[in-house]
Structure 1
Amino acid sequence: MQFNEDELNSRPLVDGAIEMMAEIDPEFPAHWVQLKLSQLAQEAEHALMEELDPRLRLEGLLRLFYREWGFQGDHQQYFSSDNVFLDKVLERRKGIPVSLGALFVYLAQHLDLPVESVGFPTQFLLKATWPEGDVQYINPFDGEFVSTHILRSWLIGHRGPFTELKPEYLETQQNHEILVRWLTVMKSALLREEHFTDALRCSDLALLFSPGDPHEIRDRGYIYQQLDCSHAAAMDYSYFIEQCPEDPAADLLKTQVETLFDEPLTLH
């Protein structure tokens, strides 16, 4: 699969996510997800399109999505891959900000609502920009409106007391940038669950977005190591050491590289 950034940015975010997930998991039910999304969009249109005031229509969609349909953030298993893959999110009606937010944006666009994605430093956010010029921010984890005061407090908790809420933190983010962040979360979840083959596909996809990224190649080396591909792991670690010699991890990996190259070559 070739990820074309312009194409990804011109289509709904969920479309790119579905293609990405089908690439990572050969059994991902892409067609079922698309049918389920169409069904939800039709239900939302039937329930809300007669509301002519777009602000009230947005409030109606929030009520429908989070209260009537019961979508919610998963507090118990936040880092589970079930919260990342859209089929599981639709089945369980639980997710994390990026997966819930992507579904909500898809539905909002069907209702002609000006809802867009924001790659806020602490988490994925939604914003509605109204013709009058005012902006509302929504936390997709629970569907609540959040003030800039709350956003500033999130930042302070994340980065320290002297952090400023810069305007660029609240800019609309393009789909390909969101998908890269989503992919990182997906890879972390799969690694935690020791699904190393799927995690390797995540890493390979991430390198389509950022070819030659030494940190991504280092991570891929770790995955190769878990899959007993010692020489491939050593090659990736060596690349990272060469590109980032000052990184503290470089010295630690040098010893591993020597050991890995000493292991017999395994053909998979």
Structure 2
Amino acid sequence: MVDFELDDLEQMALIEGALELTAALDPGFPVDWVRLQLERLAKEAEVALMDEINPQLRLDGLIRLFYREWGFCGDQEQYFSSQNLYLDQVLDRKKGIPVSLGAIFLYLARHLELPVSSVGFPTQYIIKISWYDREPQYLNPFDGEYLSERTMAAWLKGHRGPFTELRCEHLDEAENGDILARWLTVMKSALLREERYADALRCSDLALAFRPGDPHEIRDRGYIYQQLDCNHAAAMDYEYFIEQCPEDPAAKLLKLQVKALHEEPLVLH
């Protein structure tokens, strides 16, 4: 299904890894067009900020250019739409979610030689700016606003509970493989919400190429098979999950589901 390895993705820019994954999911994805658009934006940014030698002012200029002049913004109305993950549509609509907007912004910032990196914060993707002479800054790629530790701590408490504390490891630089795995998870969820089950199945199979045997991913694939009326395949995936995660609360319900699936007539596809 894929002609690259996880190690290959780690060596690529995040945006290139995202392009490779999307092309693996959708052979018709216009990779070359996306690359041309990215190169055009990079050249525009370079020309607009060529006289700005101060790195902080160059970063502020890129934020202004990207979010105000070019009009990129987070999609508040259709946050969970797959449109926000296909980079051709993100570039065309100028709307996305943190990870897709962030991948584009990261590409442009690195083109301008700014010290930026990815952070897989528990609630969303954020960008870290690591200055050599002062504390790092954190940028929310959804709206281009700087994030305080107080804000990120509040996000974390809302996500994991009121006693959760913000720790240094929450703000560590993330590897591309981890970010792209989350990208795939969000993509799969969006495709399931849109009832695009065949596309979601390709997404799940690709995720399993990087996490072979992951019981939760196999459980999700079982659900997709069930929606596609592949009951025997669904039952096999559910049984694998039950065997691997017998204490999981979902296991008991899935045992009943497996029994019902085995009672269904076999459908040949």
Using structure 1 for the length normalisation, give the TM-score. Answer: 0.97
Q: Which moved more, 1:136-145 or 1:151-160?
A: 151-160
Q: How many residues align?
A: 268
Per the alignment, residue 102 of structure 2 pairs with: 101
**Cα displacement (A) at 1:116:** 0.7
State the partner residue of 1:210. Answer: 211
Residue of structure 2 in register with 1:174 after alignment: 175
Q: Which amino acid is the alignment partner of residue 5 of structure 1?
A: L
Question: What's the CA shift for 1:22?
Answer: 1.2
Is residue 172 of structure 2 the alignment partner of residue 143 of structure 1? no
The equivalent residue for 1:251 is: 252
Structure 1 residues 26-45: aligned runs within 5 Å: 26-45=27-46
Report the Cα distance in structure 1 between the residues aligned to 2:48 and 2:265, rounded to whole angstroms.
Answer: 63
The answer to whether the 8 Å contact 1:121/1:155 transfers is yes
Shift of 1:60: 0.5
Percent of paired sites with the same residue: 67
Distance (Å, rounded) in 1 between the aligned partners of 2:209 and 2:228: 21
Which ranges of structure 1 fall in alignment gaps of 5 or more residues? none
Amino acid at match of 2:24: E
The one-letter code matched in structure 2 to 1:142 is D
Root-mean-square deviation (CA, aligned residues, Å) is 1.1
Shift of 1:81: 0.7
* Distance in 2 between residues matched to 1:3 and 1:177, nearest whole Å: 16
List runs of 5+ in structure 2 lacking aligned partners.
none
The one-letter amino acid of 2:176's match is: N
Q: Which stretch of the first structure deviates more once superposed, 187-196 or 204-213?
A: 204-213
Partner of 1:115: 116
Amino acid aligned to 1:107: L
Identify the residue that residue 20 of structure 1 maps to in structure 2: 21
Q: Is the 8 A contact 1:79 1:189 kept in 2?
A: yes
- Cα distance per residue 1:64-86 (max 9 Å; x no partner): 00000000001111111111111
Letter in 1 for 2:251: A
Which residue is equivalent to 2:86?
A: 85
CA–CA distance in 1 between the matches of 2:10 and 2:143? 26
Distance 2:92 2:14 in 1: 19
Query: What does the per-residue CA deviation read over 1:162-182, in whole Å, with 9 as the maximum and x for residues that have no partner?
Result: 111110000000111000001
Aligned to 1:55: 56
Cα offset, 1:2, TM superposition: 4.3
- Whole-angstrom CA distance in 1 between matches of 2:199 and 2:110: 31
Deviating more after overlay: 86-95 vs 152-161: 152-161
Task: Return the TM-score normalized by structure 2.
Answer: 0.97
After TM superposition, the structure 1 = structure 2 runs for residues 62-77 of structure 1, keeping only pairs within 5 Å, are 62-77=63-78
2:221 paired with 1:220: yes
